[in-house]
Amino acid sequence: MTIGLKRGAVKLLPYDKAWKTEFETEKQRLFDVFGDKIIAIEHIGSTSMPGADAKPIIDLLVGVYSLKTAPDFIDGLKKLGYQYMPEKWSDTRCFFPKGSDECITHHLHLVEVANEKEWRHPLLFRDYLISHPEALNEYITLKQDLAEQYADDRHKYTELKDEFIKSILAIAE
């Protein structure tokens, strides 16, 4: 199994079923450290979609009741290898990458489970693509095209996927 990518780089790999195992292992580590501070942990992003080419970074959606508890996660996440990046925090999401700038392996998105956009939308998008192979294939093609054009510009790569994501969410609703 190969996971990890230089910060900011865009490189897609063919789906690897070991990504699911890596997610489950990391999920257990998080529950071991934080216990009932976490309501749920979901595997999101393309590594969660069987058959999808993906950046080899495991995306974890970690649901809590309130982001007021986010500071309670900082030290424990640092011990697990996550980076504290307060500039990547907002009123609706706290982001923690795991690994070094040369090899980011996980993206942890700490959100409130009651937040429609931050909690429900990533799950709706994932589940729709998993259950609609034609839409998944369209998404894979888009990602491959963008990865070729923007291999060193993750921001642009992500931005240009936005319209497709919004269209799928509108259909899935």
pLDDT value of position 27 = 98
In a domain, 144, yes or no: yes
Question: Residue 138: which CATH number?
Answer: 3.30.460.10
* Mean pLDDT taken over the chain: 96
19: phi then psi, degrees, rounded to nearest 5: -60, -35
pLDDT value of position 1 = 57
Question: Checking DSSP bridges between strand 103-112 and strand 58-64, what pairing results, if any?
Answer: parallel
Full domain range(s) for residue 101: 18-172
In a domain, 5, yes or no: no
In a domain, 13, yes or no: no
Q: What percent of the chain has pLDDT over 70?
A: 99
Q: Nearest CA to 33 among 2, 63, 74? A: 74
The model's pLDDT over 36-94, given as tens digits with 9 standing for 90+, comes to 999 999 999 999 999 999 999 999 999 999 999 999 999 999 999 999 999 999 999 99
In a domain, 150, yes or no: yes
pLDDT value of position 2 = 84
74 contacts: CB under 8 Å, gap ≥ 6: 84
Number of domains composing the chain: 1
In a domain, 121, yes or no: yes
In a domain, 6, yes or no: no
In a domain, 28, yes or no: yes
Grade residue 22 by pLDDT with cuts at 50, 70 and 90. very high
40 contacts: CB under 8 Å, gap ≥ 6: 62, 63, 113
Judged against a pLDDT cut of 60, whether residue 104 lies above it is answered with yes
